[in-house]
Amino acid sequence: MLIRKSQDIDSSEITPKEVYLNRRRFIQEAALAATGLASAALTAELPGSRHANAGEKLQFRKSEIGIQGEDMTPFKDITTYNNFYEFGTDKSDPARYAHTLRTIPWTVSVEGHVKQDRIYDVESLLKMHPSLEERVYRMRCVEGWSMVIPWIGIPLASVIKAVQPTSKARYVAFQTLYDPKQLPGQRRAVLRWPYVEGLRMDEALHPLTILAVGLYGETLLNQNGAPIRLVVPWKYGFKSIKSIVKIRFVDREPPTSWNLAQPREYGFYSNVNPEVDHPRWSQARERRIGEFFKRRTLMFNGYADQVAGLYSGMDLRKYY
């Protein structure tokens, strides 16, 4: 991914991007190649990956924020077992049909309670942070399966601070591309399209929250939310909205797609909480992709030490 200068950003806000190859990742990918699981080889096999930047190597630094000592989910599983209803409801649909999405050119509008509404390309948004970071996060689906993914992106906080929200901005709302020609799943009324999500401002500013543009050292594939998506690791996966085209700063709690569809089952906060069951199944245990036995679900997906303070005094059964 090329990083270009943009007239949308003041020079004082841009820090030169530190560029160097991650030798450790290179060695790891070489080892994977020996077993036939190299991500570059797999990319060529995935229908949803056939776009201009598919499999392009990224330059990044390894962040200290993330988990240690857990095995990462294989690239093949991350890129072929997905929830992305814009391409279909089956887990294999995104990889099968995502080739219809064109990610170049791609712009993201930033509007609402900010100093000035603007439209950015993805590279301009990345310019708001010194360098791309790799962060290994646990991700859990509300359906009961989980993965460990090495995301590459930037803190959402760096973008928020650069666009200068006003004092009226209490929430951040996100919107996915709406284009049924490119996103065939939108031709069915599975959800209200376009897909929308939102965070409270303190959640959006939290250091764990990132805008991701890659995983496993390469640019995002379409089925994983290319070219830019949200990642909020202590919440269920559906909060991490994909293929973002709009970020809006608002003063009231914004609507979210799954809450609109089934408010009894999906609340605005959607924090991973094993003590609050989904109305149709327990959330107490989960199955890590690649493992046979289930494991105990961790409060806030294992990030309680970092994020529990955001919800101090709140009834987490009411604000689920």
Longest dimension (CA), the chain: 54
Compute the distance between CA of residue 259 and CA of residue 67 in angstroms, rounded to an integer.
30
pTM metric for this prediction: 0.85
Q: How many CB atoms lie within 10 A of CB 295?
A: 11
Residue-wise pLDDT for 227-240, tens only, equals: 999 999 999 999 99
Predicted pLDDT at 49: 52
- Segments of the chain scoring below 50 in pLDDT: 2-45, 50
Is domain 18-311 given the CATH code 3.90.420.10 in the classification?
A: yes
Exposed/middle/buried for 272, CB within 10 Å: 0-12, 13-18, 19+?
buried
Domain ranges of the chain: 18-311
Helix (H) or strand (E) holding 138: strand 133-140
Compute the distance between CA of residue 50 and CA of residue 45 in angstroms, rounded to an integer.
9
